[in-house]
Amino acid sequence: MTSSDKSSPIDELRAQYEELAELSGSLAHEIKNPLSVIHMNIDLLSEDLADWHSPESRRPLERAKIIRDQCVRMQGLLRDFLRYARLRDIDLVSGSLNDQLETVLNAYSAEAAQREIEIVRFLDNDLPSIALHSDSLQAALMNLVKNALEATDRGGQILVRTYTTNSGVAMDLIDTGRGIDGNTIMHMFEPFYTTKEGGSGLGLPTARKIIEAHSGRMSVESDVGQGTKFTLEFPALRRII
């Protein structure tokens, strides 16, 4: 074997990671099927117990609800894990970051209005195009906007702005919410780390992975009690004159 045929330690590590990711994804997918069967049957059992109309059925009905709730939680966890594990190379096309943001913000406008949270938009109309995958980029943006809404109290504000940079385009998502402490910022992009009850801990890691798949980067600044700012940066596509 020549030296050119030998795999470098980095190549070997990458191959091992790919194999592990594929195995983990396959295992999670296999778990989904029996979990769906359990969920369906516990729903049927709950319906049977509800028809008894007796005090004796109350305790098993409560236990059935606990099982159903945990099934829902596990199904959500598996969904998030599969999205995280299988996100590798994606096909990118020329598109507008503003358009992706408008779609996401419009999707949350009703919830924001109901909670009396103002969404302020400062989107640069002359923003250059970027290479993007619409579905995955919107999923990342939705995660960030959803988190901002959850962190912001009634009467608060979320500001979204886009602008050009020396190397491309960027967007800021700024909320007036509760803020994030330093320890959480250090770990928030680690898979399965979460401070939310019932959270999967995969939302932000998946969002960052999506941004990196777009050759972009994500950063965060926060002050407890003052709010949080997420900044996303992307390389711009060259304009053809």
In a domain, 105, yes or no: yes
- Say how far apart CA 197 and CA 147 lie, in whole Å: 14
Output the domain CATH number for residue 153: 3.30.565.10
**Is 241 a domain residue?**
no
Shared domain check, 56 and 111: no
What's the confidence (pLDDT) of residue 4? 47
27: domain CATH number is 1.10.287
pLDDT of residue 1: 45
Spatial strand order in the sheet of 168-175: 118-122, 157-164, 168-175, 227-235, 217-223
Task: Using 70 as the pLDDT threshold, list the residues of the chain that sit under it.
Answer: 1-30, 53-54, 56-57, 73, 76-77, 79-90, 193, 197-200, 239-241
Does this model's pTM top 0.85? Answer: no
Q: What is the pLDDT of residues 44-56, one digit of tens each?
A: 777 777 777 667 6
Q: Which two tokens stand for residue 201?
A: 């801990």
Q: How do the residues of the chain divide into helix, strand and coil, expressed in percent and rounded to 5? A: 55, 20, 30
Q: What is the pLDDT of residue 105?
A: 93
Q: Could you tell me the residue range of the domain that residue 33 belongs to?
A: 3-85
pLDDT at 3: 44
Q: Which of 179, 180, 171, 175 is nearest to 118 (CA)?
A: 175
Out of 53, 85, 117, a domain closes at 85
Q: Quote the pLDDT of residue 141.
A: 93
Q: Are residues 122 and 41 in the same domain?
A: no
Q: How far out from the chain centre does Cα 72 lie?
A: 18
pLDDT digits (tens, 9 = 90+) for 54-90: 676 677 777 878 787 777 767 766 766 666 666 555 6
